[in-house]
Amino acid sequence: MTTASLDYAPPKSGGIASWIFTTDHKRVGILYLIGSVAAFVVAGLMAIGIRIEQFNPGESGLMQYFVGDFGKSMTTPDAYNTALYFHGAAMILGFLIPGLTGFAANYLVPTMIGAKDVAFPRINALSVWLFWAGIILALLTFVIPDKPDIMWTGYAPYSVLSPGNTAFYVFTVHLIGFSSILGAVNFITTIVYMRAPGMGWNQLNMFVWSVLTGLTIQLIFVPVLAAAVTLLLLDKYAGTGFFDVSRGGDPMLYENLFWFYSHPAVYVIFLPAMGLIYDIVATQAKKAIFNYKAAVYGGMCGLVVISGEVWIHHLYVAGMPNWLRIGMTLTTLLISIPVGLMVLSLWGTLYKGAITFNVSMMYAALCLILVLLGGLTGIPLAIASITVHLARTSWVHAHFHFIMGLFATYAVFASVYHWFPAMTGRSADNGIAKLGFWLNLIGSQVTFWPLFLIGVEGMPRRYWDYSEMGDHVAYFTQMHHIATLGAAITAGGILLMIVSWVYAAIAGRKVERNPWGSKSLEWTHASYPIGAGNFPEPVTVTADWTPYNYAK
Amino acid sequence: MHKWPKRLLLGSTALLSASLPAMAGEPVSPTKLWNEIWQDVLYDMLFIGLPFALAAIYFLIRYRAKHPGQVGEPVRMNAAATWGWIIIPCALFLADDLLLFGKGWTLWNVQRVVPANALEIKVNAVRWSFQFDYGNGVTDSELVVPVGQPIVLRMTAKEDPSGDVIHSFGLVDFRLKEDLIPGRVTYLWFIADKPQETRVNCMEFCGTGHGQMSTPVRAVSKEEYQQWLAKHKSASAGTVQVASASLGGTASK
């Protein structure tokens, strides 16, 4: 199995073809990064459009431009719904999952475990092709006349009856889903069979564990999502009636199948993000992971076990049996135990550390606060009877943006800064990056705190206009003003961040090997910057080696 | 003095007493109880979050490297300490989970057990409006209810000329919400304790008019309600049939 990587050694650098047809996991990773950042930027533009539309009650008159309808043939609500569909679908399926399990896993997993490549390099190439095909299909939203408007959830029966082109949604999910299944098989095999000789399970980087556990979830649950959207496709275009009550179907079948995948999918995002933050924090604090086994076996593995028993908390107001809703209240609350073990371990890793604040550590420090806020604001949403009011309000919207939109997103950004020298031999820690960080910190808080406040007062999600909210309109308007200001600040921060990467890749300061003084193989044993075959010499590790043995 | 500390102490009994309010004579308002328990949940979030936030900030400042090349001081733990750092936090998190679960269950039983004397109003949702059937042929697009009277809404989504889709009955000022789903009859109950005018808004995405799908909810005195009902009875006699609790009539195609 290990010989496969040598047969498909990366082609000579240069030339577009050498990138398109690459089987080198590092180049595949970079292709994922470019694709997912592209999805992030376009989906981010949609977010700006959404915030502009909500700035005041009533029409802004600008929404159509954001979805490429320059002739203004669409109504404002339809354009808004398309923007919201694209924002959600692209951020989750096009940016977060591929950014974490595509870019970060590709670049880091083989180099962290001392492997020359992944187990199946050509399947890896196929994965990234399918991902790019999915991204291109999703971007066609802006070209076709019947743009999808069904939100990233695509709930039936609306998605069956919608005038929008639901097929684009279904096929995008298929392509990215296939890509993801192949990636999961590839990385699980790589981690199980291709660790450097001598590397035991308790010597893995936290990120490697997070990929193993996250992709296990992905492998189990993605087929369920694929089934759900395929039934949708058949209902809409082949005349079946899976979700049609008049023909014996049931719309709740779709919601259940969808969330049976999509709640675990949150952990496919959360776990690798947590893994990145663990590795950055341990490296920058020069500290071993606190209570490693508790965090891995109790925390990460515990989350895998519980991930499939909580989905009804997305259906707390969706007519499910009363006993089921209160039953899953209990299972959902129990998520606090594995997550609590991980958080304790992360906090413990800082204790008595020797922390250096470079840009990646600044983002990681912010991520500690973000995961805390995101987690705590999830507590009320675990409780069915409290969620009866908070469901479908901007409280939910702000909660999952703290976990996915901020914590996981900023973890990806932190990882780019942290591993930039390994990828390029240059550092992306420059003044532009630091300014971008502060704008991202301030902007994110200014955007989402007001949404918590109006969420408790009942501001509904997915409303392009809130002028029908009676006495609440004045307060909601004030808070939307603040949130929109925050989005503008964040947009500036993101722009500076991307500039800092591009600038650093071309003309950044060259830094010596292993600038952060890490003990992990991708810094200590890999070539620098990491080149073809990753390791000049085959790597073996001793029984007392760990990626975190700073105090040895 | 806030009652939260006492509630924390009594947390373990919350599970046992979970079904009590529903048995009491006077119906407990789900809205009032939501607001009370919401306060408790906020305190709980603060109680857990604050120590972690302060610890993070303290560690990040206190343990900055003094010089390049400095490494962290190893924390060596024996087996007892290792297990202690697993079992004690898990026990604390579990205790908090059960406390919250008990409170949540108490509220749930109030929200989901309809008082026997509740007045039933049927609701149907189409794109993009709600229709209310008060019985005896009285139908209206506005929800009018008598103050002090528990109201139970039996809700579905059917006979939409452009096809039935899911909607949601968002009574935000009453802290209540439940979906209206093709092929099912769902319910929620509430009680208005004073005359007031508020709105119900659709809170499940249903297309172009979703953001405008809203109608007034008026709580009026019992006398006013009877007058309103009498007026509407004569006016709307023999008009359209709206939501029916039977599952049979849900075909829309």
The series of mean pLDDT values per 10 residues for chain A, 552 residues long, is 45 76 93 94 96 94 93 93 96 94 95 95 96 94 93 94 94 95 96 96 97 96 94 95 94 96 95 97 96 96 96 96 96 97 97 96 97 96 97 96 96 96 95 97 97 96 94 96 97 96 95 94 93 91 94 76
Q: Please write down the HEC assignment for all residues of A112-144.
A: HHCCCCCCCHHHHHHHHHHHHHHHHHHHHHHCC
Of B224 and A16, which is predicted with more confidence? B224
- Nearest Cβ partner of A344 from B89, B204, B250? B89
Domains and CATH numbers, chain A: 29-524 (1.20.210.10)
User: Are residues B90 and A341, on separate chains, in Cβ contact within 8 Å?
Assistant: yes
Instruction: Return d(Cα A24, Cα A430) in angstroms, integer.
Output: 29
User: Are residues A329 and B204, on separate chains, in Cβ contact within 8 Å?
Assistant: no
* Residues on chain B touching A356 (C-beta within 8 angstroms): 64-65, 68
pLDDT digit string, tens, across residues B54-96? 999 999 999 999 998 899 998 889 999 999 999 999 999 999 9
* Residues on chain A touching B203 (C-beta within 8 angstroms): 391-393, 460-461
What the block records as the tokens of B198 is 């508020």
User: Are residues B107 and A386, on separate chains, in Cβ contact within 8 Å?
Assistant: yes
> At which residue do the structure tokens 């043995």 appear?
A549
CA distance A458 to chain B (A): 5
pLDDT at residue B246 tops 80: no
Domains and CATH numbers, chain B: 4-62+80-112 (no CATH), 119-244 (2.60.40.420)
- What part of A 252-311 touches B (C-beta under 8 Å)? 252, 285-288, 290-291, 293-294, 298
Is A337 an 8 Å CB contact of chain B? Answer: yes
pLDDT at residue B247 tops 80: no
CA distance A457 to chain B (A): 7
* Residues on chain A touching B50 (C-beta within 8 angstroms): none
* Residues on chain B touching A77 (C-beta within 8 angstroms): 208-211
Closest CA to A429 of A284, A271, A273: A284
Q: What is the pTM of this model?
A: 0.92
pLDDT at residue B6, rounded to an integer: 44
pLDDT digit string, tens, across residues A121-163? 999 999 999 999 999 999 999 999 999 999 999 999 999 999 9
pLDDT digit string, tens, across residues B102-158? 999 999 999 999 999 999 999 999 999 999 999 988 999 999 999 999 999 999 999
User: Are residues B163 and A157, on separate chains, in Cβ contact within 8 Å?
Assistant: yes
Confidence of residue B233 (pLDDT cuts 50, 70, 90): confident
Q: How far is CA A33 from the centre of its chain?
A: 12
**Alpha-carbon radius of gyration of chain A:** 23
pLDDT at residue A400, rounded to an integer: 96
pLDDT at residue A13, rounded to an integer: 63
SS3 content of chain A, % helix, strand, coil (to 5): 70, 0, 30
pLDDT at residue B243, rounded to an integer: 42
User: Are residues B86 and A341, on separate chains, in Cβ contact within 8 Å?
Assistant: yes
Confidence of residue B16 (pLDDT cuts 50, 70, 90): very low
- What part of B 198-227 touches A (C-beta under 8 Å)? 198-199, 201-214
User: Are residues B60 and A350, on separate chains, in Cβ contact within 8 Å?
Assistant: yes
Q: Coil, helix or strand for A213?
A: helix
Q: Is A115 left (phi over 0), alpha (psi -120 to 50) or beta?
A: beta
A263 exposed, middle or buried (CB, 10 Å; 0-12, 13-18, 19+)? buried
Instruction: Return d(Cα B233, Cα B226) in angstroms, integer.
Output: 10
pLDDT at residue A175, rounded to an integer: 96
CA dihedral sign of residues A467, A473, A478, A483:
negative
* Pairing, β B167-171 against β B138-140: unpaired
CA distance B129 to chain A (A): 13
- Nearest Cβ partner of A458 from B163, B172, B209? B172
Give the best residue of B57, B63, B158 to mutate against chain A (max A CB count within 10 A): B63
Q: What backbone torsions phi and psi does residue A241 show, to the nearest 5 degrees? A: -135, 40
pLDDT digit string, tens, across residues A188-199? 999 999 999 999
The torsion angle over the Cα atoms of residues A485, A491, A497 and A501, rounded to 10 degrees, is -170
Q: Please write down the HEC assignment for all residues of A383-439.
A: CHHHHHHHCCEHHHHHHHHHHHHHHHHHHHHHHHHHHHHHHHCEECCCHHHHHHHHH
Give the best residue of A259, A389, A390 to mutate against chain B (max B CB count within 10 A): A389
Q: Coil, helix or strand for A174?
A: helix
Determine how many CB atoms are found less than 10 A away from the CB of residue B106.
22
Instruction: Return d(Cα A347, Cα A351) in angstroms, integer.
Output: 7
pLDDT at residue A3, rounded to an integer: 41
